[in-house]
Amino acid sequence: MSLGTSSAHAAPSKQPDPALAAATRTYEEGISERDAGNFVAAAESFTSAYRAIPMQERGIRASVLFDLVDARRNAFAEGEGPGQLCECERVLVAYLDELKQGFGSKAEKFPDTRKARKLLAELRKQVDELRVENPALDCATTPLEKPAPPEPEPAPEPTPPPTTTPAADPDAHKADADAARRARTLTIAGAVTTGVGGLFLGMLTAGLVLGRNADRDGQARTQAAIAAGTPLSQDDPGLQSLVHRGKLGNGLAIAGGVLATVAVATGVSLLVLGQRARKAPPRAALAPALAPGFTGATLVLRF
């Protein structure tokens, strides 16, 4: 909307009014801010334009006033404080007082007066609804929240002088690649060996269960024979089978425990060496050694 004297309210001026021209520019800034969604900034521009418009331009002042109220209500809807609504109430009350003082009872017949009274009633109802949640809300003492001034842009940092990147050392690159390869090998060997230790732990558990069940069945068989009055002979085939099963279980448990301990310890050592090898080439490596009847680790020194 371009501000200008309306023929419905006043005759066109022969010379442009400087105050009205300045108010027009300010009003147009508010329109741009409103279209960009900056409702608080738009309301500030509309307020400045409204105050700069001469009193005789009643129709123009009313149009700007309604844009001002609409902007502040939108600002409140976007999360600004209730001071936006209270400011609308104060401006509308002042506008109606001006009309009454300037035009008396005739002002009640103006369409702008009726619209201003309707807006004022809506605002007061909205404030009353807010007061249900906040009984201390009082527009007489609630100030208008001023927008925070924009923060100054930081000064640009000085451009650092160009640095010369040294040429890559092929030997160093090869050493890094070798170290990464050794670290990967050690890590994989450690994970595999630790997994083998887990299998031996399973053998340990199976041996314990087998031995415990054989012992339980042997005791039950012996007690049943005594109760029947026919004690078992040590050569009883069933008893010998249980004894053989118990020995097998004990052997599995012992072998599984020893092998699991060695394998887990070796696997953990390999994993640790693999992690260290990622940072620096190791001078020693621990490799697993497996042979019939033997499980362990071999320490290999590199010079």
> How many CB atoms within 10 Å of residue 297?
18
What predicted TM-score, i.e. pTM, was given to this entire model? Answer: 0.45
Residue 27 lies in domain: 18-133
For residue 277, pLDDT over 80 is answered with: no
Highest mean pLDDT among 66-75, 183-192, 265-274: 66-75
Residues 6+ apart with CB under 8 A from 208: 249, 253
Average pLDDT over residues 235-257: 81
Q: Tell me how far apart the alpha carbons of residues 119 and 142 are, in angstroms, rounded to a whole number.
A: 19
156/58: higher pLDDT = 58
pLDDT given for residue 143 in this prediction: 87
Q: Which long-range contacts (CB under 8 A, 24 or more apart) does 212-218 make?
A: 212/249, 213/245, 213/249, 214/242, 214/243, 214/245, 214/246, 214/249, 215/246, 217/242, 218/242, 218/243, 218/246
| DSSP element (H, E) containing 273 | helix 237-277
| Residue 149 is assigned to a structural domain of this protein | no
Q: Tell me how far apart the alpha carbons of residues 21 and 247 are, in angstroms, rounded to a whole number.
A: 110
Q: Tell me how far apart the alpha carbons of residues 215 and 186 are, in angstroms, rounded to a whole number.
A: 43
Q: What average pLDDT is seen over the chain?
A: 80
| Residue 2 is assigned to a structural domain of this protein | no
CB of 68 closer than 8 Å to CB of 43: yes
pLDDT given for residue 303 in this prediction: 45
Render pLDDT for 84-134 as a digit per residue (tens, 0 to 9). 999 999 999 999 999 999 899 898 999 999 999 999 999 999 999 999 999
Side-chain-facing half-sphere of 67: CA atoms under 13 Å: 29
Our count of domains for the chain comes to 2
Q: Which two tokens stand for residue 89?
A: 């109430």
- Give the CATH number, domain containing residue 119: 1.25.40.10
| Residue 39 is assigned to a structural domain of this protein | yes
At 299 the three-state DSSP class reads strand
For residues 107 and 56, state if they share a domain: yes
For residue 200, pLDDT over 70 is answered with: yes
| Residue 87 is assigned to a structural domain of this protein | yes
| Residue 141 is assigned to a structural domain of this protein | no
